Each structure stands twice: as structure tokens, then as C-alpha cells.
Amino acid sequence: MKESDTISVLVCVHSRDHEHDMLLQRALESLVRQSYASFETVVVLDECWEDTKGLVQSYASVLDIRIFEKPHKQGLAVAKNFGLQRCSGDWIAYLDADDQWMDCKLDVHRQWLIDHPEIDFCGTGAWDLIDGAIVPNCFSVTQYITHDEIVARLPQENVLCHGSMMIRRISLQSVGNYSTERSCLGREDWELWKRAVAAGFRFGKMPERIYVYSLGTSVPR
């Protein structure tokens, strides 16, 4: 990453009710709190109920936010590809609609990528949020950090938390973004990593836990 590179944060949401809107609000609040604030937010409303759009629009005064609607849900990969086509940043950062970023996430992630300009796909350590308690996820902070460590394990296990990723947009475009094949349903990210490795792109992971993954709150996609 170069100092001058721009960042798009992609949020895809399928909200069916007030409860899911509150999770989305929590996610957007974590963007408002970012210590590094120079980014655009692209929100894809993937067949959401009537109140969700108004909630997202209420953040227009505090976030550089753009909203795009898909009236019919066709799967998470389709929604992400739809959103990627509308992102303008040199880098794509992700925030799942029921998850959160730590306040320093974008700041320290961006600086790490500036310090490691060879990296194209970069994840971070993560916390799990379970019944209101935040606990370390299943990977230690020393596991699967380098490109070689990640690549050696990927055939057996997805060792990267998708929501924590920042990815060079041109690299995503080069490998054709997310596969929409039914055989990839539920593992679209893992399949993408494998294609990117085969294409010669470089992976890395920050050991710091700066992403919060919410368990038990996902919706069928």
C-alpha cells in the first residue's frame, strides 16, 4: 500500500427486522469511531425490509457513505460482487453487518500494509463475541501470520477471518472477484483465497485482534 492509496469499506446487509437493524447500527457505529477517518463506506442493501435504508441514510452526516439496493437476494457472493463494482478505493476493507471493528482497526491495518507493500491480501487477528462476552477466536496471535504459513494451511482450513481482510482492489479484479457457483456456497472467501494464491498474490496477517466477529447472529444468504 502507498500512503496515497484510497480505501473503500464494503458492508453487505440482509436485514429482515429491527433486531438485525440494531446489529447493523452497531457495525456502523464502529466505523464512526475509527481513528483513521479517510475512507468511503459502500453499503449494499440485499433485499432488506423497509426501515433499513433510513437507518443507513442517518449516517450520511458522519460517514462518507453510499447506498445501493438489490431488491432480490441472490447470495452473499453476488451481493459482494455487486458492491465491489461500486467501490472506488484502491483497497477494499470489509465489515460484516453483524460484526464490529475496534476503534484503531483501519489506522493500524493501513499502516501495516504501508510497511509491507508486497502484500495484496491481508487479514488480522479477531475476537469472538458470544452472548455479550468477547473472547479470543480459535487462532492464537502467533498462528498463520506469514504468506508461507497461510498458504501451507489453506488447503486444509480457512485460516483468515473474511471480515478482517483488506485486499488490493486490482488483485480482486484480476482473479474475478467472488465465485457465484453453488459449489462455493458458504465458503466463497476460502475459494477466493485459493485462486489468489494460485495466481501468485501475496498474503499476510496482522497478529493484533482488531476485528470482532459476532457468533450466532448471521442470516441465511
- CA atoms 21, 25, 28, 30: torsion sign: negative
Q: Which of 82, 89, 77, 78 is nearest to 113 (CA)?
A: 89
Q: What are phi and psi of 216, to 5 degrees?
A: 85, 15
Q: Considering the chain, what percentage of its residues have pLDDT values greater than 90?
A: 81
Give the number of other Cβ atoms within 10 Å of residue 127's Cβ.
Answer: 20
The shares of helix, strand and coil residues in the chain, as percent rounded to the nearest 5, are: 30, 25, 45
Report the amino acid identity of residue 107. D
**pLDDT tens digits, 172-211:** 999 999 999 989 988 999 999 999 999 999 999 999 999 9
Q: Given its phi and psi angles, is residue 216 left (phi above 0), alpha (psi -120 to 50 degrees) or beta?
A: left
Q: What are phi and psi of 6, to 5 degrees?
A: -100, 160
Mean pLDDT to the nearest integer, 162-171: 97
Q: Judging by beta carbons within 10 Å of its beta carbon (0-12, 13-18, 19+), is residue 216 exposed, middle or buried? A: exposed
d(CA 58, CA 53): 9
> Which residues in the chain belong to E strands, given as ranges?
7-13, 40-46, 64-70, 91-94, 100-101, 121-130, 133-136, 166-168, 203-214
Looking at per-residue pLDDT, the higher value among 32 and 50 belongs to 32
The answer to whether the beta carbons of residues 211 and 126 sit under 8 Å apart is yes
Q: What are phi and psi of 79, to 5 degrees?
A: -65, -40
Quote the pLDDT of residue 16: 87
Here the cell at position 188 is 466463497
The region of weakest confidence among 104-113, 128-137, 172-181, 198-207 is: 128-137
Q: What is the pTM of this model?
A: 0.94
